[in-house]
Chains A and B, each alone.
Chain A
């Protein structure tokens, strides 16, 4: 039995009310979306906020809408299930829907939200454990202790970004809309992350993610998500890779996006790999050759660490395999890649 620590819950009905409640909580507050990350972490005494501010009753945080120019707004409280199964989203942004559809299992996709997935805490096998377990081992830098069990003598926490939708949103150049104590702001998701596993975001937990905005997809947009995990369901990624390809009418790649997750504290864009794909044509020899080069480069640039469960050498060996498969799946519109 894992008990939650004591707290009280507020149920605001507007963004302004939620922001005021956060202000009033004097550093003790935390936003509650689906609770599927927050509650396990609270049960493990990794977080003990005294005030939860439940976002479920705020209408403007819910729903998926498209503007006339084809761009899309997804409210932060939209469930992963809705994202994964929305027909227009599926055709416009396949990498995102596939990633959302591979998060944990059905119940958690109904409960968990896209905003909560962006804001997911980093994960580590020495951190995501009960208080009793962590105490027995000796705590670590991310919570209650001073050393790192992954990098001996390390001064920085390398707990892994493990949110499946983050790399997809990175390749889609999503923008995040925030409500802050002093107003509103918007930022590209690429600017959200920092290389610190203790808190891998540049935005403080008291700021409210209102919506995720996606630019209109190009006329010939392809995408896929590849996810390595031990079982066909429930597990967090051992390695995840999102791929997007924007082409002209003859399927020559005009721009490409590749971003990996479950490596270090930040989602990991593969910029050089993107450049290798541009100018090649889907299905052509040039594309096949580029895929091999990209797989080799991904092996060098993606270095799984013994931070999350799963043998890191096996995860390393799977990097080129998943890179290749995910690129082909994107090009042939047959993602996700989930080899089990």
Chain B
């Protein structure tokens, strides 16, 4: 066991966990943040994507020990961050995914949304090709992707207004 000092969604947390645990395991099984999904658990699917200092990262291949000192954003952090900035309703990306019907089972959503968030932070007005490239590490077994790309385009528009 080790005590990890993590900065999760703006909060500093101290959490005791085995030294060999991944960030995904600590988030899900110690901090109760089950929004980050455990899909393949070996880098193939993107369901576990979180942001580390704004960069999309696979939490299943990242040690909790390697995430210390970095700002970790999980899907649970988007709504509070949006509200803290004076936003109303849901985070625009989450809202657009909902309104565009960009989900069926929903398992891929947190990872998709966080990859999209990182893209829009860097590039507020991406082309369809740029959206496809940014999401190329996130698999969806249900939707066929079209509505996911549409949702990101809609959110980009909404955020620019």
User: Which 3 A/B pairs are nearest by Cβ-Cβ distance?
Assistant: A105-B137, A233-B136, A2-B41
Assign chain B's interface to a size class: 20 to 34
Given A54-B66, A111-B57, also A106-B19 (CB < 8 A): no
Residue ID in chain A nearest B132 by CB atoms: A232
CB distance from A245 to the nearest CB of B (A): 27
Given A8-B19, A39-B61, also A110-B56 (CB < 8 A): yes
A105 to B46, CA, bound (A): 9
Judge whether B36 is part of the interface by a CB distance below 8 angstroms: no
Q: Which residues of B contact A35 (CB under 8 A)?
A: 61-63, 66
Assign chain A's interface to a size class: 20 to 34
Residue ID in chain B nearest A111 by CB atoms: B57
Interface centre among B22, B43, B55, B139 (most CB of A within 10 A): B43
Q: Which residues of A contact B115 (CB under 8 A)?
A: 106-107
CB distance from A32 to the nearest CB of B (A): 8
Q: Out of B43, B57, B66, B134, which one reaches A104, CB within 8 Å?
A: B43
A135 to B118, CA, bound (A): 41
Given A6-B20, A7-B19, A39-B61, also A1-B38 (CB < 8 A): yes
The DSSP consensus for interface residues of chain A is loop
Q: Quick check: B41 and A107 within 8 Å, CB to CB?
A: no
Judge whether A288 is part of the interface by a CB distance below 8 angstroms: no
Q: Quick check: B44 and A107 within 8 Å, CB to CB?
A: no
Instruction: Give residues of chain B (124-138) contacting chain A, Cβ–Cβ below 8 Å.
Output: 133-138
Judge whether B79 is part of the interface by a CB distance below 8 angstroms: no
Judge whether B8 is part of the interface by a CB distance below 8 angstroms: no
Judge whether A9 is part of the interface by a CB distance below 8 angstroms: yes
CB distance from A132 to the nearest CB of B (A): 14
A52 to B57, CA, bound (A): 20
Q: Which residues of A contact B19 (CB under 8 A)?
A: 6-9
Q: Can you list 6 A-B contacts with CB-CB less than 8 angstroms, sorted by A residue number? A: A6-B20, A9-B19, A32-B66, A105-B46, A107-B58, A110-B57
